[in-house]
């Protein structure tokens, strides 16, 4: 089976037309007009490919090829079409378009398969709108209930519950989203690497060994708001400077962590109150994102940081509070699926290697109820979450070829 690289390029470019920032990369935020239109576009190509299209109560879209034995659990592939602000056109979309292409190849090959094979758009992998990631796959894993959707707000204060209701999703059916062990036989996601290992090592394809999971917090530092000139350096209780102190300690702990193979710590959003040039901030609130391949190492890292707060509070005359959003569990990819992927990479003649995923993916949550594996394709200069993000269409096609063979083999087990 051979994918059609021209069609992959055409569909990715057409999907990319649904974009609220065409002048500066791609922005497609959950349930905004471009995202809703993007969904319709993808459903259209699923239908044209002869897939049976359904959607659940949180907007996960399934395009399925029927197998010959309906009593068997299905095989899944898929990814997401929502983006961060000013993203590129590949993060998520490569796995959705590549997944549909793989199903088309299987259908056109005429090769029979026992299990259903589904290509999925998971709802909102990115936390862009609701500050919580992987909404669709999180609900599948039973980690987002209909009650929880009432406590998830966007920046305008709207809850996910309200938004789903307004769009006509049937929330009385929400419980059906959740999957249990055994409901899905195997799931394979293709994604861009979002790092530079493949490019540096001159490999076209990657087999993911483990997917790091994020823990997300807000840290709120309260000091004393005061005059920038009138308050001497000795007399101030500057919330922002205390935040910087916390930030540098976090960086040091993460850099020096030897308890796992891979750890990152990021502060991506910082706000000071009142946020004026001539006022010492009385409050600073910032986000913390910690990733790790090992759940215990991540816990320990945060514990270590928090144990230093009393010193900072005393030294700087501030108070420090933490809001915990999520402490997600990392996932190891399934050895048997990885072996099938490796075999098909070898058959295809592509150069490949094993790697870790520092980014999270819907496969993280799918991995809580099904065996998962991931195929990575290279990111130019390792850049992603940026308008500069690029992956060659030929590489996506090479990943799609392996994906199709892998899905077909799994669907006949
Ligand atoms: C997903 O995009 C992530 O932040 O890893
Ligand atoms: Mn992303
Ligand atoms: Mn992604």
Residues with Cβ–ion distance below 5 A, ligand 3: 91-92
Residue 117, φ and ψ in degrees, nearest 5: -125, 125
Q: Contact at 8 Å (CB) between 293 and 265?
A: no
Q: What pLDDT is recorded for position 337?
A: 98
Indicate if 101 and 201 belong to the same structural domain: yes
Indicate if 52 and 141 belong to the same structural domain: yes
Task: Output the domain CATH number for residue 77.
Answer: 3.40.630.10
Centre of ligand 1 from the C-alpha of residue 345, in Å: 26
- Residue identifier of the C-alpha nearest atom 4 of ligand 1: 359
Centre of ligand 2 from the C-alpha of residue 98, in Å: 17
Q: Is 354 exposed, middle or buried (0-12, 13-18, 19+ CB in 10 A)?
A: middle
Ligand of minimum distance to the alpha carbon of 363:
3
Choose the final residue of a domain: 327, 353, 374. 327
Indicate if 160 and 202 belong to the same structural domain: yes
Indicate if 297 and 347 belong to the same structural domain: no
Half-sphere exposure of 131 (CA within 13 A, CB side): 22
Q: What pLDDT is recorded for position 167?
A: 98
Indicate if 311 and 368 belong to the same structural domain: no
Indicate if 190 and 227 belong to the same structural domain: no
Q: Is residue 359 lining ligand 1, measured as CB closer than 6 Å?
A: yes
Indicate if 358 and 368 belong to the same structural domain: yes
Q: What pLDDT is recorded for position 248?
A: 98
Q: What end-to-end distance do the CA atoms of the chain give, in Å?
A: 19
Cis peptide before 274 (omega within 30 of 0): yes
Please count the helices (runs of H) and the strands (runs of E) in the chain: 12, 16
Indicate if 195 and 343 belong to the same structural domain: yes
Choose the final residue of a domain: 327, 352, 373. 327
pLDDT, tens digit, for every residue of 262-291?
999 999 999 999 999 999 999 999 999 999
Q: What pLDDT is recorded for position 256?
A: 97
pLDDT, tens digit, for every residue of 17-60?
999 999 999 999 999 999 999 999 999 999 999 999 999 999 99
- Model confidence at 372, pLDDT cuts 50, 70, 90, reads very high
pLDDT, tens digit, for every residue of 328-354?
999 999 999 999 999 999 999 999 999
Half-sphere exposure of 191 (CA within 13 A, CB side): 31
Which residues neighbour 146 within 8 Å (Cβ) at sequence distance 6 or greater?
Answer: 161, 171, 174, 175
User: What is the distance between the alpha carbons of residues 165 and 249, in angstroms, rounded to a whole number?
Assistant: 43
Centre of ligand 3 from the C-alpha of residue 126, in Å: 7
Q: What pLDDT is recorded for position 363?
A: 98
Centre of ligand 1 from the C-alpha of residue 102, in Å: 24
Indicate if 49 and 192 belong to the same structural domain: yes
pLDDT, tens digit, for every residue of 48-91?
999 999 999 999 999 999 999 999 999 999 999 999 999 999 99
Indicate if 180 and 303 belong to the same structural domain: no
CA angle 319, 323, 160 (to 5 degrees): 145
User: What is the distance between the alpha carbons of residues 37 and 351, in angstroms, rounded to a whole number?
Assistant: 37
Mean pLDDT score of the chain, rounded to an integer?
98
pLDDT, tens digit, for every residue of 149-200?
999 999 999 999 999 999 999 999 999 999 999 999 999 999 999 999 999 9
Indicate if 282 and 140 belong to the same structural domain: no
Overall number of domains in the chain: 2
Q: Is residue 126 lining ligand 1, measured as CB closer than 6 Å?
A: yes
Choose the final residue of a domain: 277, 294, 327. 327
Q: Is 305 exposed, middle or buried (0-12, 13-18, 19+ CB in 10 A)?
A: buried
Range of the domain at 304: 213-327
Ligand of minimum distance to the alpha carbon of 191:
3
Residues with Cβ–ion distance below 5 A, ligand 2: 91
- Residue 69, classed as helix, strand or coil, is coil
Tokens of 60: 């996960």
Which residues neighbour 163 within 8 Å (Cβ) at sequence distance 6 or greater?
Answer: 31, 154
pLDDT, tens digit, for every residue of 238-259?
999 999 999 999 999 999 999 9
Indicate if 132 and 185 belong to the same structural domain: yes
- Model confidence at 360, pLDDT cuts 50, 70, 90, reads very high
Task: Output the domain CATH number for residue 271.
Answer: 3.30.70.360
pLDDT, tens digit, for every residue of 93-126?
999 999 999 999 999 999 999 999 999 999 999 9
């Amino acid at each position: 089976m051979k994918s059609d690289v021209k069609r992959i390029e055409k569909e990715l470019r057409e999907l990319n037309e649904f974009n609220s920032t065409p002048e500066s990369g791609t922005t497609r935020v959950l349930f905004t007009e471009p995202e809703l239109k993007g969904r319709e576009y993808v459903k259209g190509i699923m239908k044209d490919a002869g897939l049976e299209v359904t959607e659940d109560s949180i907007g996960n879209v399934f395009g399925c090829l029927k197998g010959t034995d309906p009593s068997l659990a299905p095989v899944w592939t898929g990814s997401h079409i929502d983006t961060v602000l000013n993203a590129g056109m590949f993060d998520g979309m490569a796995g959705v378009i590549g997944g549909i292409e793989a199903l088309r190849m299987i259908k056109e090959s005429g090769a029979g398969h026992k299990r259903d094979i589904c290509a999925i758009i998971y709802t909102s992998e990115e936390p862009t709108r609701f500050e919580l990631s992987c909404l669709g796959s999180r609900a599948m894993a039973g980690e987002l209930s209909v009650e929880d959707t009432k406590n998830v707000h966007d920046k305008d204060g709207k809850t996910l519950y309200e938004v789903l209701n307004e769009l006509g999703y049937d929330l009385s059916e929400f419980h059906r989203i959740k999957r249990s062990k055994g409901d899905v036989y195997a799931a394979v996601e293709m994604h861009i690497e979002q790092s530079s290992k493949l490019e540096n090592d001159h490999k076209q394809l990657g087999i993911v060994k483990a997917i790091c999971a994020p823990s997300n917090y807000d840290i709120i530092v309260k000091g004393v708001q005061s005059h920038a000139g009138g308050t001497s350096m000795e007399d101030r209780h500057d919330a922002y400077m205390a935040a910087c102190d916390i930030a540098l300690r976090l960086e040091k702990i993460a850099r020096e962590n030897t308890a796992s193979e891979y750890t990152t710590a990021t502060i991506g959003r910082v706000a000071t109150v009142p946020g004026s040039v001539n006022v010492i901030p009385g409050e600073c609130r910032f986000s913390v994102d910690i990733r790790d391949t090992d759940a215990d190492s991540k816990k320990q890292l945060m514990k270590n940081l928090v144990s230093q707060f009393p010193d900072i509070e005393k030294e700087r005359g501030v108070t420090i509070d933490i809001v915990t959003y999520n402490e997600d569990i990392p996932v190891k990819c399934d050895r048997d699926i990885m072996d099938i992927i490796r075999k098909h990479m070898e058959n295809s003649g592509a150069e490949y290697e094993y790697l870790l995923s520092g980014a999270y993916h819907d496969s993280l949550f799918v991995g809580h109820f099904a065996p998962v594996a991931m195929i990575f394709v290279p990111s130019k200069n390792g850049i992603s979450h940026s308008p500069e993000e690029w992956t060659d269409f030929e590489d996506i096609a090479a990943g799609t070829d392996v994906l199709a063979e892998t899905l077909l083999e799994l669907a006949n087990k």
